[in-house]
Structure 1
Amino acid sequence: MTQTATGQNQVKSFARGLDVIRSFSGNRPRQSLTEVAEATGLAPATARRSLHTLISVGYAGTDGREYWLTPRILDLGFSYLSSQPLTAIAQPHLERLSHTVGESSSLSVLDGTDIVYVNRIAVRRIMTVAITLGTRFPAHATSMGRMILAGMTPDELDTHLDDVDCHRLTPNSVTSHSQLKKVVRTARDQGWCIVDQELEPGLRSVAAPVRDATGRTVAAINVSTQTAVHPLDTLHRTFLPAVIETAQNISADYAAAYRSIA
């Protein structure tokens, strides 16, 4: 009989250690024990044990007053990336795409209600927040997120939206589930998606889906640019055909790789 994640197979101390790791961020690169305990909701003694366990295996450091993550923590993220053939397959395609259009390109997958960047070719910084591997954004407000949502069945989308808060990020943001369903249906019908200044003012992007051998959407790619650099017409006329072609090529190579190991 299969055990659930909340059953006897759960290791609570391991889960607490992951909570401690996630408490560090660009805004909190170094924290005191009290700050870690407050950020995670753990008792100070529990947070301290987790921190010192991380230190013992080389994932964290301390000067006796503050704690921080070490570069070795990247091993955890790269373990995922190295286990995913899609990221390796997509890399040269994204490089060619960025070279062709002269803008940054990315590959993202869905994780909960967010997209997570797993490939990125950066040409210039386009947002106030630096985008790197592992960066997360609300899926509903991004072109890649909407493209992945467009691959869901109506029932799957309804279930997904139960956890989505369509809060306003910019004056252009979609702020209701009914609006979101409409734009997702449009993305599904046309096979691509453009989001214009809904995630951040001055940012627009175009995305297309990446599919596996069964035709299921497993990821999405995009090209992003600033409104001051390229007008919306350029996205339709130049970027869109290149993004669609690249997504189709990645999908074809991914499907071929899947068939070769199946």
Structure 2
Amino acid sequence: MPLSSRLAPPPALGKDAPAAPPAAPRPTPASSLDIYQGDPNFMTSLARGLIVIQAFTQQSPQMTISQLSVKTGLSRAAVRRCLYTLTKLGFAGAEDGQRYSLRPRMLSLSHTYTTSSTLSTSAQPVLERMSSTFRESFSVATLDGDDIVYIARTQVASRVMAVDLHIGSRLPAYCTSMGRVLLAYLPPDQLEQYLARVDLIPHTTRTITTVDKLRLALRSVRRLGYALVDQELEVGLRSLAVPVYAPNGRVVATVNLSGNAPRLPVFDMQTHFLTPLRNAATEIGSFLR
């Protein structure tokens, strides 16, 4: 090839040059409702109201109609109607008439679940006894979509970590000990679907961020019967979890111990807490019969 050809500048982009493909629209909570279009039994208005409720978080406890519209993907008119209804029923309100927030009455919804759930009501006293005995924080969670949801929890005040956890808190399953347990015992087809869609965000330098490594970690959980996650969600946070079995042999929940990594060495967690955790899981599971 002649030197002049190799050094020739690239052709200028003209009006006939192909345009860059438009960026794919970012999915929003509202877009998840598209699959239900045409379903006569699906209450879209109720679904929109639930989307608005779930938009409020610890990081965004107060939002305007415009902010909620952007965050949810719903129109301003739809958000306004949802907030109007929630306000009339006492579940939301706006002190200044612009920035809305949830009201304490919202707690009645979670209380209804915790008092009607056999798993939650049976687990709480078991965790409280464990916490009183060992002076550590214990939790029970179930899998909801790609997250774990805390349904029972005790926390020792002097052991509080940066992560503020309570009943109803959600955390990604892939980087938590309870999530690893629940994922490890999923039916194979459901696990493969999860691995195909999960976004493995690195929360710390220790977080597993490849599907192959996560798959190996889950196999280890099934082989050992427990999951120990060392500072993958938060630096300094170490946790140990075991499965809770239903009478039919299906894993329906998980119970864990979490605490400060320097104070809870891996060996101590395995030797001092694994058996008590398994005993607690068996006791909780017995209430499901």
Cα deviation, residue 79, structure 1: 2.2
SS at match of 1:42: coil
Per the alignment, residue 156 of structure 2 pairs with 123
Q: Report Cα offsets for 1:76-117 as digits up to 9, x if no partner.
A: 222222221011111121112212221100000000110000
| 2:238–2:264 contact (8 Å) kept in structure 1 | no
Alpha-carbon distance in 1 for matches of 2:124, 2:109: 20
Per the alignment, residue 111 of structure 1 pairs with 144
Alpha-carbon distance in 1 for matches of 2:170, 2:250: 22
| 1:193–1:207 contact (8 Å) kept in structure 2 | yes
Q: Which of 8, 25, 44 is 1:12 aligned to?
A: 44
| 1:126–1:203 contact (8 Å) kept in structure 2 | no
2:118 corresponds to which letter in structure 1? Answer: P
Alpha-carbon distance in 2 for matches of 1:132, 1:59: 20
Further displaced range: 107-116 or 42-51: 42-51
Per the alignment, residue 51 of structure 1 pairs with 83
Q: Which of 27, 33, 37 is 2:69 aligned to?
A: 37
Q: Does 1:189 find its partner at 2:213?
A: no
SS at match of 1:90: helix
Q: Report Cα offsets for 1:24-74 as digits up to 9, x if no partner.
A: 111111112221222112222221111011011110112312211101111
RMSD between superposed Cα atoms in Å: 1.5
1:135 corresponds to which letter in structure 2? Answer: S
| 1:118–1:133 contact (8 Å) kept in structure 2 | yes
Task: Please give the TM-score of this superposition, normalised by the length of structure 1.
Answer: 0.91
| 1:192–1:244 contact (8 Å) kept in structure 2 | no
1:104 corresponds to which letter in structure 2? Answer: S
Q: Does 1:26 find its partner at 2:65?
A: no
Per the alignment, residue 133 of structure 2 pairs with 100
Per the alignment, residue 259 of structure 1 pairs with none
Per the alignment, residue 216 of structure 1 pairs with 250
Task: Please give the TM-score of this superposition, normalised by the length of structure 2.
Answer: 0.83
Structure showing greater radius of gyration is 2
1:15 corresponds to which letter in structure 2? Answer: A
Q: Mark the runs of 5 or more structure 1 residues left unpaired by the alignment.
A: 256-262
Percent identity (aligned): 40
Per the alignment, residue 105 of structure 2 pairs with 72
Per the alignment, residue 248 of structure 1 pairs with 282
Cα deviation, residue 163, structure 1: 2.2
Q: Mark the runs of 5 or more structure 2 residues left unpaired by the alignment.
A: 1-34
Alpha-carbon distance in 2 for matches of 1:153, 1:56: 44
Q: Report Cα offsets for 1:131-164 as digits up to 9, x if no partner.
A: 0111111101111111111212322211222221
Alpha-carbon distance in 1 for matches of 2:191, 2:79: 37
Closer, same or farther in 2 for the Cα pair 1:23/1:153, shift >3 Å? closer
Cα deviation, residue 251, structure 1: 1.4
Per the alignment, residue 89 of structure 1 pairs with 122
Q: Which of 138, 141, 147 is 2:181 aligned to?
A: 147
| 1:105–1:221 contact (8 Å) kept in structure 2 | yes
Q: Which of 211, 225, 238 is 1:204 aligned to?
A: 238
Q: Report Cα offsets for 1:214-242 as digits up to 9, x if no partner.
A: 01000000000101322222101211121
| 2:52–2:72 contact (8 Å) kept in structure 1 | yes
Number of equivalent positions: 252
| 1:142–1:195 contact (8 Å) kept in structure 2 | yes
